[in-house]
Amino acid sequence: MIRDDYNKSVTPSRQLPADWPGYTNVQSLVAMAIPLFIFASTVCRFINDRKCGQPKDQLTKILKYETRSQASKLDATYLPVLEQLLARVTSSERRRLEDEFQQVIRSIVILVSPLSATALDRLLGVPKGTIDSKTDLLHSVLSIPFQPDHPIRLLHLSFRDFLVDSEKREMNPFWVDEAYAHNKLATQCLDLLSTGDNLKKDICNLRTPKRPRSDIDRQTIDSHLPPDIQYAC
């Protein structure tokens, strides 16, 4: 299906051959997928993501991990997706991109409940559109809705496990320090609540300060507190 969809969208000179990806490559992918089913679905999304490159080039990136003795199943699943974020950049650019990745992705993976790109922009105090742009190449591992006010979700919890695995601290350039990430996010929540009128007395304009929280309907709360403020609270 990936081959057929791709060939329909390009000129004949760029089309993949009828036997692509070939029996040997398919068998290699099958072996790499055992016993981690999420490998298959992640790889298919990665190869089919036109923002990342052509299918044959994407496949090559995946197969590189077949012969890496130190690579785990999760390494082979997620590192090809993440390494493309740092492809063809200088050492100084790499450092900047790694810092940006940490700021954005660490927040997404440790959230107690998912937030939209718009809400995350506000919660992290970054310019509007930052989250959208920084997650543009991560559709293989994140469910990123077209609507910016709909929550971004992990496609599989193993992506979080991979990023926060303390045993990979020295080997994984994308490793997330979970304790630091929670501390940083808590600080950003407090900063947000301390800004302007984000936190004030009778924030829902109820005029009945003793009214129990359980008696306030969801529509009233949502109309006065945007998702980022609700999360920070």
What size, in residues, is the chain? 233
Q: Residue 157 and residue 219: Cα distance in Å, rounded? A: 30
pLDDT at 212: 80
pLDDT band at 188 (very low <50, low <70, confident <90, very high): very high
What are the tokens at 199?
């936190």
DSSP for 207-229 reads: S-TT--GGGS-HHHHHHHS-HHH
Q: How confident is the model at residue 144, as a pLDDT? A: 94
Q: What's the whole-model pTM score? A: 0.78
Question: What pLDDT is attached to residue 71?
Answer: 56
Tokens of 91: 């050492």
Q: Given this model, what pLDDT does residue 67 score?
A: 64
Domains of the chain listed by start with CATH number:
2-71 (no CATH), 86-177 (1.10.10), 192-232 (no CATH)
Q: What is the pLDDT of residue 184?
A: 95
pLDDT at 179: 95
pLDDT of residue 126: 92
Distance, in Å, from the CA atom of 184 to the CA atom of 108, rounded to the nearest integer, reads 13
**CB half-sphere exposure, 178, CA atoms < 13 A:** 13
Each residue's pLDDT tens digit, 49-100: 877 778 888 888 888 877 665 457 888 889 888 888 877 777 778 888 888 8
Indicate the SS3 state at residue 1: coil
pLDDT score of 8: 82
- More confident: 110 or 43: 110
91 or 166: which leads in pLDDT = 166
Backbone angles phi, psi at 153, to 5 degrees: -130, 155
Q: How many CB atoms lie within 10 A of CB 7?
A: 17
- Looking at residue 68, its pLDDT comes to 62
pLDDT above 60 (res 190): yes
> Quick one: pLDDT at residue 121?
95
Can you tell me the distance from the alpha carbon of 80 to that of 66, in angstroms, rounded to the nearest whole number? 12
* Res. 176 pLDDT band, cuts 50 70 90: very high
